[in-house]
Structure 1
Amino acid sequence: MTPTTRLDVLTYRTGPSDLLPLVLLHAFPLDSRMWDDMAPLVAGARTVLAVDLPGLGRSAGLGTSAPSLDDAADAVAQTLTAVGLERAIVVGLSMGGYVALALLDRHPALVAGLGLLDTRSTADDDAARANRLRVAAELESSGTVDAVRPMATALLGESSRTLHPELVDRVGALIGQQSAAGVAWSQRAMAARPDRTAVLHQFEGPALVLVGDEDVAAPVAAAEHMVAALAASQLVVVPHAGHLTAIEDPDAVADAISELAGRADVEDQRARS
């Protein structure tokens, strides 16, 4: 486990202890503010918080010589413990999904419900891994995030780019506020991640797999692969949305997460009785 690390936490709502808290893990190369539209829409009065992953948003980097999402997951676990959370519904989008899977693998007692949004459980293939390392090197060399600025367009679905072009500027602004070092670290950590499909086979709790039907980075087939590995999952395909569903259609994502949270509450209360 990494040395004690406290990541920055954005608390959207504080609720009663009898409802499981909801923890949101953001996409690359953004930070927890990507949840701003969606988080307030989650039904109920439960605690809802989002964590800035290492080196992004307001969280400091881990300073590890070999970037790893395992270290990121350990830092999330330490942070949740520090704020008094023992069990939570963990929802991650894209890179946040990779960290959620690492958290499930390394700290399974913490995960009472699992939401995997626009992500995949498999590792990068050789070409994707090489591209991540190339981009990381470019970020480090330039000291800027210029190498990932085009993602402001690429991560959004065609419908969003056409009907809501202002989202390109919003995503671009979030990207521009990240540190080059943090973005490079994240790229290297994602490139090194293993296939965690086997972890899904072991998880028996309530799960949600959600994907935009215009998602190119983690398409519907990747979502179906995860659903097949889970014991108690629901698949939600969001129409007219790309990779950033929580930004592109916050209502649909909030509805799906609310349903997951309800199932997780029932299972948690049953286990306690």
Structure 2
Amino acid sequence: MKSNHFTMNISGINIFYEFHHDADSTIASKPTLVLIHGFLSSSFSFRRLIPLLTKEYTVLAIDLPPFGKSEKSKKFVYSYENLAKVVMELLSELGIEKTVLIGHSMGGQICLNISRQKPELVEKVVLLCSSGYLKKLKRALVYSSRIPYFYLYLKYWLAKKGAIQNLLNVVHDHSLIDDEMIAGYTEPFYDDRIFHALTRMIRDREGDLASEILRNINTPSLLIWGEEDKVVPIEIGRRLHRDLPNSQLITYKNTGHLLPEEKPQHVYDNIMEFLQTTS
């Protein structure tokens, strides 16, 4: 598998992304799979899924700002609509005219935003424990985020929860949690600039797409869920399945929120079957 790591300035912010592909020339005729991670995560969360997907497809994994290795700007607008536009602009700069989007958690909302804004770009969508139906944060918290040094409170709150406790919450099989996993999910938060950016994100995040909007997204969609997901409960998956008119839902028992880490082979098999089925 060939991997290349790059940074490109998109809409005034530096975006880190990875290209992964095998040398098989037949891959060139297939759509590029675009992986979009969740909140407080990065493309690291797809590390077990990427080697499987690159057997058949070229894979583009993106670190959404301010996460992972992408820039942590105080000036960028961290709305889902704008994050979707950044992804679309990156795809345009890379000459990708047709894609399959694979989004985990918050990344699922970015995928749905792209499908809404530019449906002709998206051949299919895979939603892995996608966030759904979250409202804009309460006004009191939005106002509080404007207090000087609020970012220090945010840093303290996240540190108090701790990386291990967060992983225990998102992974059903705790035996999977090792030093590599802990380090991979903790490293981006050694840079204090992320807390400034997250403070801005509190103000910018507009909430998830409403049912009336979802019902007009006709992109073929595969929803995959862990039945023990504590972050985005299975009921959200069932509701999204009802609202998205061209969707199917698959659930796994004894599986939590971090699907790409917990069930990479199962997810890969489901994605391959979905992609090879004519809509």
Instruction: Give your verdict on TM over 0.5.
Output: yes
Structure 2 residue identity aligned to 1:49: L
Deviation string 1:82-102 (CA, Å, 9 cap, x unpaired) is: 111111110111111121122
Residue 125 to residue 74, structure 1, CA distance change in 2 (3 Å): closer
Of 140-149 and 15-24, more deviation after overlay is shown by: 140-149
Corresponding residue number in structure 2 for 1:7: 15
Corresponding residue number in structure 1 for 2:88: 77
> Aligned runs of 1:109-120 on 2, under 5 Å?
109-120=120-131
- Which ranges of structure 1 fall in alignment gaps of 5 or more residues? 268-273
Corresponding residue number in structure 2 for 1:52: 63
Alpha-carbon distance in structure 1 between the residues aligned to 2:185 and 2:149? 16
Corresponding residue number in structure 2 for 1:271: none
Give 1:43 shift.
7.1
The partner residue of 1:222 within 231, 236, 242 is 236
Alpha-carbon distance in structure 2 between the residues aligned to 1:120 and 1:138? 30
Alpha-carbon distance in structure 1 between the residues aligned to 2:263 and 2:52? 11
Alpha-carbon distance in structure 1 between the residues aligned to 2:60 and 2:203? 23
Corresponding residue number in structure 1 for 2:252: 238
Whether the 8 Å CA contact 1:55–1:62 is kept in 2: the answer is yes
Residue 52 to residue 253, structure 1, CA distance change in 2 (3 Å): same
Structure 1 residue identity aligned to 2:122: V
Question: Residue 8 of structure 1: SS of its match in structure 2?
Answer: strand
More strand by share: 2
Whether the 8 Å CA contact 2:145–2:202 is kept in 1: the answer is no
- Which ranges of structure 2 fall in alignment gaps of 5 or more residues? 1-9
Whether the 8 Å CA contact 1:5–1:78 is kept in 2: the answer is no
* Equivalenced residues, count: 261
Deviation string 1:3-60 (CA, Å, 9 cap, x unpaired) is: 3655221112266332111100011211111101111113752111210001211212
Of 68-77 and 248-257, more deviation after overlay is shown by: 248-257
Higher relative CO (Cα under 8 Å, sequence separation at least 6) belongs to: 1
Whether the 8 Å CA contact 1:69–1:189 is kept in 2: the answer is no
Say whether 1:38 aligns with 2:49.
Answer: yes
Alpha-carbon distance in structure 1 between the residues aligned to 2:18 and 2:93? 14
Structure 2 residue identity aligned to 1:28: F
Question: Residue 101 of structure 2: SS of its match in structure 1?
Answer: strand
Of 30-39 and 63-72, more deviation after overlay is shown by: 63-72
> Aligned runs of 1:84-123 on 2, under 5 Å?
84-123=95-134
Structure 1 residue identity aligned to 2:152: S
Q: How high is the sequence identity, in percent, across the aligned residues?
A: 22
Structure 2 residue identity aligned to 1:11: F
The partner residue of 2:197 within 185, 198, 213 is 185
Alpha-carbon distance in structure 1 between the residues aligned to 2:128 and 2:115? 15
The partner residue of 1:159 within 148, 154, 172 is 172
Of 13-22 and 25-34, more deviation after overlay is shown by: 13-22
Give 1:132 shift.
8.5
Alpha-carbon distance in structure 1 between the residues aligned to 2:44 and 2:171? 22
Q: TM-score normalized by structure 2?
A: 0.79
Give 1:239 shift.
2.0
Whether the 8 Å CA contact 2:73–2:193 is kept in 1: the answer is no
Of 171-180 and 94-103, more deviation after overlay is shown by: 171-180
The partner residue of 1:206 within 209, 216, 220 is 220
Structure 2 residue identity aligned to 1:182: I
